[in-house]
A = this chain, B = another copy of it.
Amino acid sequence: MKRTTFHAVILSGGSGERFWPLSTPDRPKQFLSVFGGKSLLRQSVDRLLGLVPPERILVVTASALVAATRRELPMLPRANVIAEPCRRDTAAAVATACGVVERRAGEGAVAAILTADHIMGDVKAFRCVLADAARAAADSDDIVTMGVTPDYPATGFGYIQMGEKVDTGTATSFRRARRFVEKPDAPTAKRYLASGGYAWNAGMFVWKVSTMKAALAKGSPELASLESAVADPRRAVAKVLSERYPGLPRISIDYAVMEKASNIIVSEGDFGWDDVGTWSSADRHLATDARHNVLKGDVAVLDVADTVAISDASGPKVAVLGVNNLVIVATGQSVLVADKSRVQDLKKVLAVMSQEHGAKKEKKGRRGK
């Protein structure tokens, strides 16, 4: 590995809908501590410590979440929590992070883009792959994507088709990326798994600043211009962001850069990664009783099976009787009761809820006239 500095950037967005009511817009999924005692955000920093010094760990998040993020991550310098003035998907966040890393450490610095709300079952394996990916990125002009070797035909993740092997001189195996593919249907996912030529796209990648700058220039002149402005030490980062963000495209880094770039290699590995997209996938990561129930908090059950029942610290007493295959989540403010097979439609019932809330407000308003 060339002499350079290694930085980590944690993208910490999220609308808080998928794990409602535990998660809310003010406390999206990465703040939940239901998966392992500490919040997912804190876990995502903790697993870097020793590999990346806190001074080189950046978190990019929404303005509204900055205070909560700083409280959750007291080991980070305040300036390392970067506020996005408005929501603009991942491409803008990556360009901003690239600019900040260049500003601090120059074009030769290497940065990893990481996630705030995923689970890594095998932290040791994750750190090995991440370190090797950083070496590979430092020693080449490739963007390194951290692929995950699939162990079941998941339809909930995107995939990367891989080509020939690439020798990076590290213990980790790397292959050239051929193309990024969207979430497949079930037969396609089976085919991907059987072929051995596909990795899950975990949304984590590692690059040298100069490499990402070139990729931004090719993929999106607007984002390249944002990167340069952020990197300019004569300008204040917050001011640049507040001026530029409203006009930026809402586009993911996959669309803006990765799908257009030809210099992408994929690290292979299985470090127990899961993005835990819904309540129904949560029970893979939570302790279950003999009847395959996940029970947390002030919950009593009788004749209940295959059910997730959670009441949070401020939540009510919950009694559950004679049901199967439900997700029941209660906080002091809200309660969800859903069939487990339907939790992917959680956003739809929240839309019904906010419509009704709107209708009630309107009714009240009219009455007031």
Binding site for B on A (CB under 8 A): 20-21, 300-303, 309, 311, 316-323, 326, 328, 330-339, 341-343, 345-346, 348-350, 352-353, 356
Contact among B301, B336, B338, B356 for A349, CB-based, below 8 A: B301
B319 and A349 form a contact (CB under 8 A): yes
Query: Please, which residues of chain B bring their CB within 8 A of the CB of A335?
Result: 311, 316-319, 328, 330, 335
CB within 8 Å for A336 and B353 given contacts A302-B345, A345-B302, A348-B302: no
Number of copies: 2
A317 and B349 form a contact (CB under 8 A): no
Q: Give complex CA distance A341, B348 in Å.
A: 28
Q: Give complex CA distance A126, B321 in Å.
A: 37
Query: Please, which residues of chain B bring their CB within 8 A of the CB of A339?
Result: 321-323
- CB proximity of A25 to chain B, nearest CB, Å: 14
Q: Give complex CA distance A339, B337 in Å.
A: 12
A352 and B300 form a contact (CB under 8 A): yes
Q: Which 3 A-B pairs have the closest CB atoms?
A: A322-B342, A300-B353, A321-B338
Query: In chain B, what residue has the closest Cβ to A317?
Result: B334
Q: Give complex CA distance A84, B302 in Å.
A: 34
B333 and A321 form a contact (CB under 8 A): no
B302 and A319 form a contact (CB under 8 A): no
Query: Please, which residues of chain B bring their CB within 8 A of the CB of A323?
Result: 326, 337-339
Q: Give complex CA distance A234, B309 in Å.
A: 60
Q: Give complex CA distance A15, B246 in Å.
A: 60
B316 and A334 form a contact (CB under 8 A): yes
Query: Please, which residues of chain B bring their CB within 8 A of the CB of A317?
Result: 21, 333-335, 353
Q: Give complex CA distance A346, B330 in Å.
A: 19
B331 and A349 form a contact (CB under 8 A): no
A320 and B300 form a contact (CB under 8 A): no
Query: Please, which residues of chain B bring their CB within 8 A of the CB of A334?
Result: 316-319
B319 and A353 form a contact (CB under 8 A): yes
A316 and B331 form a contact (CB under 8 A): yes
- CB proximity of A321 to chain B, nearest CB, Å: 4
- CB proximity of A337 to chain B, nearest CB, Å: 5
Query: Please, which residues of chain B bring their CB within 8 A of the CB of A322?
Result: 338-339, 341-342, 345
Contact among B321, B332, B342, B343 for A336, CB-based, below 8 A: B321
- CB proximity of A332 to chain B, nearest CB, Å: 7
Please, could you name 21 A-B residue pairs with CB atoms under 8 Å apart, sorted by A? A300-B349, A300-B352, A300-B356, A302-B345, A302-B349, A309-B337, A316-B330, A317-B333, A317-B335, A318-B336, A318-B337, A319-B336, A320-B337, A320-B338, A321-B338, A321-B342, A321-B348, A321-B349, A322-B341, A323-B339, A335-B335
